[in-house]
Structure 1
Amino acid sequence: MLAAAAPVLAQKKKKGSPAATPPAAAPASTEKKDAGGIQPYDKVITAKAVSDEGLFKVHKLDDKYFYEIPDSLIEREMLMVTRIAKTAEDIGYGGENVRNQVVRWQKKDKKVLLRVVSYSNIADENSPMSLSVRNSNFEPIIQSFDIKAFGKDSSLVIEVTTLFTKDVPAIGFDDARRKQYKVSNLDESRTFIEHVKSFPINIEARHVLTYRAGEAPSNASVGSISLEMNNSMILLPKKAMMPRLADDRVGFFAQSQVDYGQDAQKAVTTSYIRRWRLEPKDVAAYNRGELVEPKKQIVYYIDPATPEKWRPYLKQGVEDWNAAFERAGFKNAITAKDAPTKEEDPDWSPEDARYSVIRYFASDIQNAYGPHVADPRSGEI
């Protein structure tokens, strides 16, 4: 900052001369400013903003993005799913999952914190041990945001641009690949947000990250790696589904928790299966032993990149599982569909974590594997 100083000439005061009249004080400003920088809503979200309604409002103003988070969603748990939507050559496959984590928005004075919640170590809330578990599992802060304004119903307006344009490891390149390709830092001049969209239960953010890399696996002369990332933030149910214990005699994917609140006088590792929430549409008929449809059918979409000649067989492979679900009392429990076209649903995306998609990767290895996204609290897929 440059400060300009005007020269002052000292003059000897003559005897008998009247004292100089001091300059009048400037009138006090009547404009009241918030010391924390919180402004009136329409000063932050102006008429130029392009807004999107959904889980919470997303506002785009020039190249900046703002979230307007309702007070009712503060402290609500959400699942953040990070995928590489488009990848550089020889760095995995576009659409692969990078990281799943439970997060929550938390208000702290004039800031909003985005924090990670872990369910690896637990204890019953009514157990004295739960205090010790909480004290040993302090929730890390991904990023803090200044509250820019308050909306109607006490909603909090924050600018989230830097969440997607700065090097935020929690939603960026994973540590293993950073080491493998000798990534030094993020080049912000080649990093930008493609879009952020709001849907009824989720927020989808697409952004391009460019990392400077000493050993880029392709186009090494450029000295960098560019990726298009997709981050889904999905509202989790207030009440988690009842988990089901895993049994080695049955082949399920499982997840584990260390429980410190049991009476075994030691920490107990408990494994729960990952499963769909299938609930009968007609409970009375289900209890009578009749086949009933589920409240919510399991739907798999076929990746638009799949060669058309293989699509009928993939669909049949999915729907053949209906026989197994019928043994559990459900009919029409699972189906497979072609992904909608852009004309049918311009917002549909295989990276949107609301959808289960069978992806078709361009690989020289004949293989298949079944990654999936599940609620860490209960195992619900």
Structure 2
Amino acid sequence: MNHDQRTHVSIRGLTGIAGALIGLSALCAGSAIAQDEPVQNSNPTIELDLAALQAMAAARGGGGGSDSGSKLKNWKDISSGFERVVSTADGDSFYDLYVNAKTNDVYGELPRGYEKQKHFFAMTVAGGEVFAGLQSGDMYTQWRRIGDRLALIQPQIAVRSTGDQESKDSVETVWTDRVLLDIPIAAMGPNGQPMIDMDDLLVGKAGNFFGNSARGLNKALTTVHSIKAFPGNVEIEFEGPVAGGTVKKFHYSISHITGTPGFKPREADQRVGFFVTNFTDLGKFDWNDTTQRYINRWNIQKADPKLSMSPPKEPIVYYIEHTVPIRYRRYVREGIEEWNKAFRAIGIDGAIEVRYQDK
């Protein structure tokens, strides 16, 4: 599915969202007290300063993106047996994906300008577990080229500063980005961008994304279950046995994080219950509360702000999965559409649309 304010409704209940508490240590002039970073997953990661990564790239002659002196293969040299994945009428795709149906190999070419983009990885165990179908995790990332390798980096956004420059410099020095994993560049693609062995990334390193759920995943017996490519996202699902022999399905959704023009964040108020997104702001003067909280809400805007009652510029689209028994689908739909009453009260008609999932 395209990631445009859409979600799925399953027969299973949605799990609650628990907010992670971020520990805080004081930064003083000339000294800093180290703190444990919030645990983001159970897998070991490597912490490196991006400036150091750039220096490493320059030292190796990679220049962070240049192919000068590189011995990388061209895609035409290894493309025999591969077919490009086309899921739209014009064939436009976020990552250009190529699959070999006989060998179950998948390669992907990164989009132009990838180093300046933020990519969102959403992971779901789609089969083989009791809670199959519920998203099990997500990652806010960016790719960085280091010589002939690509590092998947998680930008540090948990601790920030809106204070003076000295405070900002301190935060930048102490809290750095994180390297989640790295992989070799398989070849240079038809569009001149690095190509990734998606099996190496998503199957060979599945533990980095799914943790213990993918423990012992047998790469040799893992196959491509489904694969789709859209302008804003790609959807890839693998099926294979894990430790103990249980066959599981691992679904990856990789999308492009773009801006949200017109969206105004709203600060949370502890007197009203909302799910929130928060970060630590060490630039605040009140040391009793350095946590900045914003409520999680949809980006719903009027198509015509001049009208007292207007359709939305972009509706929220819910999909009712085909796993929901037919006899219940009507009531699930009516329950979702009930929220339109609240949006009409603020002048937006038809803010929520409900559709049925295709097979």
TM-score by length of 1: 0.67
- Alpha carbons 1:127, 1:261 under 8 Å: kept: no
Matching residue of 2:252: 231
SS of the residue 1:186 aligns to: coil
User: Percent same amino acid at aligned positions?
Assistant: 21
Matching residue of 1:370: none
- Alpha carbons 1:105, 1:113 under 8 Å: kept: yes
- Partners of 2:99 and 2:163 in 1: how far apart? 41
Alignment partner of 1:272 out of 267, 270, 294: 294
Listed one character per residue, the Cα deviations across residues 226-277 of structure 1 (whole Å, up to 9, x for unaligned) are 3111011111114584421112333322122111233446771122111110
Matching residue of 2:49: none
Which residues in structure 2 correspond to 1:132-281 (within 5 Å)? 132-151=170-189, 154-172=192-210, 174-175=211-212, 185-212=216-243, 223-238=244-259, 241-264=263-286, 268-281=290-303
- Partners of 2:348 and 2:138 in 1: how far apart? 30
Matching residue of 1:333: 351
Which residues in structure 2 correspond to 1:307-322 (within 5 Å)? 307-322=325-340
Matched, 1:54 2:85: no
Listed one character per residue, the Cα deviations across residues 12-63 of structure 1 (whole Å, up to 9, x for unaligned) are xxxxxxxxxxxxxxxxxxxxxx9743123421334x3211241121112443
- Partners of 1:102 and 1:126 in 2: how far apart? 27
Amino acid at match of 1:56: Y
Gaps of 5+ in 1: 1-33, 213-222, 343-381
TM-score by length of 2: 0.71
SS of the residue 1:74 aligns to: helix
Matching residue of 1:63: 104
Gaps of 5+ in 2: 1-67, 86-91
- Partners of 1:209 and 1:136 in 2: how far apart? 41
- Alpha carbons 1:84, 1:94 under 8 Å: kept: yes
Matching residue of 1:300: 318
- The alignment yields a C-alpha RMSD, in angstroms, of 2.7
- Larger RCO (CA under 8 A, 6+ residues apart): 2
Matching residue of 2:43: none
Q: Tell me which stretches of 4 or more aligned residues in structure 1 moved more than 4 Å.
A: none
Superposed displacement of residue 82, structure 1: 0.5
What number of residue pairs does the alignment pair up?
284
Superposed displacement of residue 297, structure 1: 0.9
- Partners of 2:240 and 2:285 in 1: how far apart? 48
- Partners of 1:43 and 1:140 in 2: how far apart? 34
- Describe the shift of the 1:85–1:233 C-alpha distance in structure 2 as closer, same or farther (beyond 3 A): same
Amino acid at match of 2:310: V
Matching residue of 2:133: 95
- Alpha carbons 1:71, 1:156 under 8 Å: kept: no
Amino acid at match of 1:64: D
- Describe the shift of the 1:40–1:191 C-alpha distance in structure 2 as closer, same or farther (beyond 3 A): closer
Matched, 1:291 2:309: yes
SS of the residue 1:104 aligns to: strand
Listed one character per residue, the Cα deviations across residues 159-205 of structure 1 (whole Å, up to 9, x for unaligned) are 22211222432322x35x68xxxx6x333333333343211111111
